[in-house]
Structure 1
Amino acid sequence: MTRIADTFSRLKQTGEKAFIPFLTAGDPSIAITEELIVELDRAGADIIEIGVPYSDPLADGPTIQAGSLRALRNGTRMPDVFELVRRVRPKVGASLVLFTYANPVFQWGVSSFFQAAKEAGANGVIIPDLPLEESEEALACGRATGVDLIPLVSTTSQERITKIAAAGQGFIYCVAALGVTGVRESLSDGLAEFVASVQAQTSLPVVVGFGVGKPEQAATIGQFADGVVVGSAIVQRSAAIADALAAGDAVGVEERKRELIEFAASLKAPLYPHKQST
């Protein structure tokens, strides 16, 4: 059993749904990213997605694109991300998932990338622009290393959903909204039915992301999915930390970090029914 499978097994026993926040490594600095990962773990994060900064993040909207640009300007590169995971792994109980793109993985070498991820302590990888038809090597490397290759599923044919679900590792990531990442005011119509159609094809947990940014949205998704991914709404708060850091406002940096963690805790709360009733 992989660490991610273990995470969902534990959550199922307690009736919780997974809270999966996203941070871009190096935004606003590697040191602050490390602090935030530790604090997110303490705030109840079950799985933490760590974005590898990339100059052409096709699946990401302007908020996460800006976070990647800040991180790249800080000099953050793939080896820095692996080293970040290596340092933080002993400090947190959450599973750690790298979010990257096909080009950097192929440049590194697929087998070498998965081996490096394993040695650093990563538990999963998401490569949103790697289609199923081109994922055979990565899936094999995931099986060999125990670093799950987590597939994304958006609205498509039932036949394709079946194929993606059958090949999936770790969990299935359902895209809640068409287009790129970014906070939406409301959830898409038919989202629950879409998730149910995926759940019918797999025994893996099914989580929902893209556009989720409010506790009430997390609560709604928690009624029919196994977990919730929140990215842009958290990266927005990373941007506020970056602004305070650039202004030399040390007090503001600490205040913005605290606001980010408090916001994260507010998203986890509705996914933990036992905590609400105590």
Structure 2
Amino acid sequence: MGESDRYSDYKKPKTKLTFGQEGNALVSLITINIVFFLLLQTIKVIYFVFESPEIAFRAGSLQYFELPAQLSSFAKKPWTVLTYMFSDVEVFRILSNMLWLWAFGFILQELTGSKKLIPVYIYGGIAGALFFILANYALPPLRQDIGSAALLGANAAVMAVAVAVTTLVPGYRFFRNLGGGIPIWVLMLVYVLIDYAGISTESAAYSIAHLGGGLAGFLFIVFLRKDIDGSLWMNNLYNWFMNLFNPNKKQVSAKEKIFYKNDGRAPYKKSANLTQQRVDEILDKINQKGYQFLTEEEKNILKRASEEDL
């Protein structure tokens, strides 16, 4: 039994990926996509009730969610670089994207914690937007229709998640009871073939956008292996924003308050004060980042806690 297995269920119920679980990034992403889809469908129904043609819906409302290919149009709606990757109006496409997001996102979140998935998704979406705009300007057949071209859907962002997890654990296997399992790279290959099936000149920009998303996912893992975590600034920004509304944001951490005892001792003689609060902090860190990110000191604390049955 490994050290991480030894402490995975210590004093806390095992964390499983279930809908409604607090701090579940995968559930949050799927929920946001569904909410945007239902919102757009509701607006579309309103247009239908007033007997307006679908082109009126696209020109009147959908344009504020989709990413325009033309830079002059994008300059007027810069927020679409984020909204487009959560928005869709096609039932089959959103169902497909959410299924693939769940399949690959489940593994990525299980291996890296809940703070990597959303940044990878967003990086993929932004890279997809950049590649989409560049493709429309670079390819002559697309340039003539650049004024009406727009990008919508989570494809590029999901592609980033898929490539990221495949790069991270190419040997991961599904359905291990079936002849040893199916390698994740096979599932990735199937996903790519489906995504790029029926590619044409008209859809070239969309396929290139998905390629940009995949590249973002690949680079995220490459840099992560070099100890460059592209998710840190994004998570710190989120925490800073949320703490603006938190009256307890200036609380001192448990480690600073109670981790060391110095009752009449010399400052250089520190004795670890083993407390349930400190152990809980370490368990939370395992849940968020993984056991491999613990320091030796934190591993020793968990070992002591297990032996002393705190």
TM range (shorter): under 0.3
Q: Which has the higher strand share?
A: 1
- Structure 1 length normalisation: TM-score? 0.25
Q: Highest relative contact order (Cα 8 Å, sep 6+), 1 or 2?
A: 1
Bigger Cα Rg: 2
Q: TM-score, normalised by structure 2?
A: 0.23
Please identify which structure carries the higher helix content.
Answer: 2
